[in-house]
Amino acid sequence: MNTIIRIWKTREVRKSILFVILMLVVFRIAAHIPVPGVDASALKDIFSGNQLFGLLNIFSGGTLENFSIVAMGVAPYITASIIFQLLAMIIPSLEEMNKEEQGRQKMNQWTRLATVPLGIIQGYGLIILMSQNGSFFQDKDALTMFFAILTMTAGTIFLMWIGELISEKNVGNGISILILAGIIAGLPTLLSQTLSVYDRSQLITLILFVVVAVVTIIGIVIMNEAQRNIPVQYARHIQGARLSGAVTSHIPLRLNMSGVIPIIFAISIILFPTVIAQFFLSAKTELLQNIAEQTVQLFQNQLFYGITYFVLVFLFAYFYTAVVFHPDQVAENIQKQGGFIPGIRPGKNTSEYLGLVSSRILLLGATFLSVIAVLPLVVQQVTGNPNLVIGGTSILIIVSVVIDAMKQIESQLSMREYDA
């Protein structure tokens, strides 16, 4: 309550939060405006009992089930961001650009521009994919398809703009908050579906679901806050216009540096073969049709799906950490500032030490993230309740985004109090 009162009394923070709430209201209104020409009843039949579309719906922010003007959510923008992050690792000139503020702004502009063609491609692919399970357009002609794809792409750009406006208010990452809003909006439907089929025989299942949710939340909070502090000693310290004696500081290495990004990456990759296979289920060539059917059946196997999901999350945790954490640069900055890690030589030895420590702590962080990702699948196999399949991923995103938003708000409050 004290924090809420402090937020309300701080004019700038209060205005920022009210603005974010207003933008989320606009997003939820847009989520209920369907693309012109869509048959709502046919769309409902397609989504009933389809696990793949249910998972896609979560990461579109709950907008896909209505096939709204923002049905694709921010997925094309996320894809464009991933592409440029990968290119920055491969192309040295892009890596140099990413180190400077002006270069980062230019890459952000390229990411926005790349979102448009990716949105067109994804919009077309989404329509074709869903059409494999039934027609949901009243008139499926070329002009209707053109306006549908154009509307969906414009919706994605609109959400991208809203996300950037939210990010500018410094109360959390705008794109993540939009995904969070979509997940929370879907919770009432999830609860109603669970309660509609509830009877006394499912009491153990319900208790198990609550226990898994609580344990997951506690575990995610602990892992998000956990860090290894590497001591750093500086021979000289500048204090005003004078040089004082040695000072000791530390470098915080987080147990999970990548947040929920490995989950998003892994789901994007694991859905890709199934999505592509859907295009060839009605192929004229028998070989292609058989391969497509076997691919779909393979990924419907819960054991194969779970193992693949676990491995991909684990690998992407290491991959994304390598993108955001560079031991060479950290070691170089320490050496330039006249610092050193006690017992470790400056330069290359410091870089190797930081790399070794980060790899060791990441082993625990990546394993925990992978377990959290597949835990709902394990519980679903034990209980037979399909509503638990996407619970862990949803909780992971909710908790991570809320923690990040709380930290940014607390930082703003502290800054305002310091200025006062």
Check if the beta carbon of residue 47 is closer than 8 Å to that of residue 126: no
CA 23 to the chain's CA centroid: 19
Asked whether residue 278 is assigned to any structural domain, the reply reads no
d(CA 195, CA 206) in angstroms, rounded, equals 10
292's CB contacts (< 8 A; 6+ apart) are 277, 278, 279, 280, 281, 283
Which residues contact residue 162 at a Cβ distance below 8 angstroms, ignoring those fewer than 6 apart?
Answer: 23, 26, 27, 174, 178
Closest CA to 160 of 106, 125, 105, 108: 108
Q: Kindly tell me if the per-residue pLDDT of 4 is higher than 70.
A: yes
Taking Cα atoms as reference points, which of 253, 250, 233 lies closest to residue 338? 233
Question: Residue 275 in contact with residue 343, Cβ under 8 Å?
Answer: no
Listing DSSP states for 232-291 in one string gives: EEES-EEETTEEE--EEEEEEEES-TTTTHHHHHHHHHHHHHHHHHHHTTT-SSHHHHHH
The Cα 78–Cα 373 span in angstroms is: 20
Q: Dihedral, CA atoms, 291, 295, 296, 298, nearest 10 degrees?
A: 130
Phi, psi dihedral angles at 68 (to 5 degrees): -80, 180
Domain of residue 147, CATH code: 1.10.3370.10
Q: What is the pLDDT of residue 22?
A: 93
The neighbour count for residue 387, using CB atoms within 10 Å, is 17
Under 8 Å between Cβ of 251 and 105: no
Query: Residue 278 is encoded by which pair of tokens?
Result: 């859907």
Distance between CA atoms of 311 and 295, rounded to whole angstroms? Answer: 18
Q: What is the 3-state secondary structure (H, E, C) of 305-332?
A: HHHHHHHHHHHHHHHHHHHHCCHHHHHH
- Cα separation, 332 vs 346, whole angstroms: 8
For 355, the enclosing helix (H) or strand (E) is: helix 348-383
Average pLDDT over residues 262-266: 79
pLDDT in tens, 304-322: 888 888 999 899 888 888 8
Q: Are strands 237-239 and 242-244 parallel, antiparallel or unpaired?
A: antiparallel
- pLDDT per position as a tens digit, 30-58: 888 888 877 767 776 666 655 556 656 65
CA distance 206 to 196: 13
Domain count for the chain, please give it: 1
Whether residue 82 is contained in a domain is answered as: yes
The answer to whether residue 161 sits within a structural domain is yes
Average pLDDT, stretch 378-395?
A: 63
Residue 128 has pLDDT above 80, yes or no: no
Whether the CA torsion 403, 112, 278, 311 is positive or negative: it is negative
pLDDT higher than 60, residue 26? yes
Rounded alpha-carbon distances, angstroms, from residue 23 to 13, 126, 269, 332 = 15, 26, 30, 42
Confidence (pLDDT) at 116: 92
Domain interval for residue 155: 1-188
Report which of residues 194 and 346 the model is more confident about. Answer: 346
- Give the whole-number percent of the chain exceeding pLDDT 90: 5
Query: Locate tokens 């693309």: which residue?
Result: 35
Flag whether pLDDT at 323 surpasses 80.
no
pLDDT at 161: 92
Is 337 part of any domain? no
The reply to whether 121 falls in a domain is yes
- Is residue 66 domain-resident? yes
Alpha-carbon separation of residue 342 from 335, 350, 381 (angstroms): 13, 10, 50
The span from the CA of 379 to the CA of 371, in Å, is: 12
- The stretch 213-234 carries a mean pLDDT of 81
Angle, helices 391-419/2-9, rounded to nearest 10 degrees? 60
Determine the average pLDDT of the residues in 255-283: 76
Contact (CB, 8 A) for 380 and 388:
yes
- The letter for the amino acid at 390 is I
Q: For residue 299, what are the CA distances in angstroms to 220, 370, 419?
A: 27, 18, 56
Mean pLDDT, to the nearest integer, of 288-293? 83
For tokens 């519980």, the residue is 379
Residue 218 lies in a domain: no
Whether 113 is covered by a domain: the verdict is yes
